[in-house]
Amino acid sequence: MSLDAVRHAIDDAARGLLELSHFIHAHPELGYEEYRSAEAVCAAAEAAGFRVERGIAGLATAFRATKGSGDLHIVFCAEYDALPDVGHACGHNIIAAASLGAAIGLAAVADEIGVTVIVLGTPSEEGGGGKIDLINAGYFRDAHAAMMVHPWPNERLEATCLAVDHFDVTYEGKEAHASAAPWEGVNALDALTIAQVAVGLLRQQLRPGDQVHSIVVEGGSAANIIARRATGRFMARSLTATRLAELRTRLAGCFEAGACATGASLSITEIGSAFSHMHSDVDLLAYYRQAAEALGRSFALDDEGAPQPTISTDMANVSLVVPSIHPLLAIPTRGAVNHQPEFTVACVTPEADQAVLDGALALAHTAVLVATDVTLRERLLQR
């Protein structure tokens, strides 16, 4: 039976998959700089018999690994970038290992069920948007379905994926002695402060789903020098790309207020690509639920109608061009949430290792169910 072969293949690869997860976790690398992590996944894929193309789409840390020759092309997305300071506090080590494990499991029956198995190594999910780079380069053009799992404190079928922009807001002013002649300067930090206050006041009138976050990247060089330059890094989120564009217009007024009040010049630099809202494929998601529940996973929160967590991911952009799913895979975190250092610790526990294997098997099982559903297969092939 197909599912038995899938399980045996993943069981045989389990030790290597867990070693891969732990290696990536122990060597956190920021977006587009995941050289060791990407190579580790590539090497593991080659050892499993996949044909690997490194450096695709002009990105040193992106890759495509392929096995099988069926007409139905199923993609598993592997993420492996980390966060500044807190490392793998979003569990991308689990994602990479689970996606490769799913591919190994599905490859065991690829010829039997007419599937081509593809792992796409997608760098810089934490802000840059490697999947969007791969979309633009055509690497999802021949895909019929795309899947991945994401570690989370709870089991959920999907999250509310908000569209998001990342951008730097920079003010340029003029230095002066802060005590002897401050009137000779133009304070760029004051401009950024005014902008942040304006954004804070705007929040009371933001529509549900609209969010703004920021940090100060640069705020001057010394307390006794009027700040010549100040930069804030911002993220703006909304329920849809259209709503996000409306939010950006309102934020632009806040940023212009800082420049107007102080006389500093203003520039805005976009970072990476804009992430979209997500559209999960209901048929793929239903089969994923069946596969995950067969492993003892429970979606009680979904059944109870609990509010979905809000996140942003470039997998959302994939979902608008390829039928996709991005379910949340529970790992015990003792109350920690993603992007906390305690979550980083939780991503290499024995329970996290089990999540790697469960995620791999659930995704591979989903793919088998999809490929053997005549009606769904035909829908996907007609894309």
Question: pLDDT tens digit string along 40-55?
Answer: 999 999 999 999 999 9
How many Å apart are CA 35 and CA 62, to the nearest integer?
9
Q: Is the pLDDT of residue 130 over 60?
A: yes
How many Å apart are CA 89 and CA 71, to the nearest integer?
37
Mark whether 200 and 246 lie in a shared domain.
yes
How many Å apart are CA 227 and CA 176, to the nearest integer?
8
At 94 the pLDDT is 98
| Closest C-alpha among 161, 381, 157, 162 to residue 284 | 157
Give the chain's domain count: 2
Segment 281-308 shows an average pLDDT of 98
Burial of 23 (0-12, 13-18, 19+ CB in 10 A): middle
pLDDT digits (tens, 9 = 90+) for 214-242: 999 999 999 999 999 999 999 999 999 99
* pLDDT more than 70, % of the chain: 100
Read off the pLDDT band of 127 (50, 70, 90).
Answer: confident
CB 52 within 8 Å of CB 42: yes
| Closest C-alpha among 116, 114, 125 to residue 148 | 125
pLDDT digits (tens, 9 = 90+) for 58-68: 999 999 999 99
pLDDT digits (tens, 9 = 90+) for 109-123: 999 999 999 999 999
At 1 the pLDDT is 54
* Domain end point (choices 236, 270, 304): 270
Q: Is the pLDDT of residue 315 over 70?
A: yes
CB 173 within 8 Å of CB 264: yes
Mark whether 56 and 150 lie in a shared domain.
yes
DSSP string, 157-207: S--EE-EEEEEEEEEE-B--BTTT-GGG-B-HHHHHHHHHHHHHHHGGGPP
CB 72 within 8 Å of CB 84: no
At 2 the pLDDT is 76
At 66 the pLDDT is 98
Mark whether 10 and 121 lie in a shared domain.
yes
Phi, psi of 208 (to 5 degrees): -55, 130
Mark whether 353 and 288 lie in a shared domain.
yes
At 22 the pLDDT is 98
pLDDT digits (tens, 9 = 90+) for 243-271: 999 999 999 999 999 999 999 999 999 99
Mark whether 196 and 107 lie in a shared domain.
no
Read off the pLDDT band of 107 (50, 70, 90).
Answer: very high
How many Å apart are CA 214 and CA 341, to the nearest integer?
20
At 383 the pLDDT is 80
Mark whether 202 and 113 lie in a shared domain.
no
Q: Is the pLDDT of residue 212 over 80?
A: yes
The dihedral sign for the CA sequence 256, 258, 259, 262: positive
* Domain end point (choices 246, 270, 294): 270
CATH number for the domain spanning 172: value is 3.30.70.360
Mark whether 173 and 154 lie in a shared domain.
no
Mark whether 151 and 299 lie in a shared domain.
yes
* Domain end point (choices 244, 270, 296): 270
At 320 the pLDDT is 97
**Degrees to nearest 5, angle at CA 252 with 248 and 256:** 175
Q: Is the pLDDT of residue 185 over 70?
A: yes
State the residue range of the domain holding 41. Answer: 2-161+277-381
How many Å apart are CA 119 and CA 67, to the nearest integer?
9
Mark whether 39 and 136 lie in a shared domain.
yes
Mark whether 248 and 302 lie in a shared domain.
no
Q: What is the pTM of this model?
A: 0.93
At 65 the pLDDT is 98
CATH number for the domain spanning 126: value is 3.40.630.10
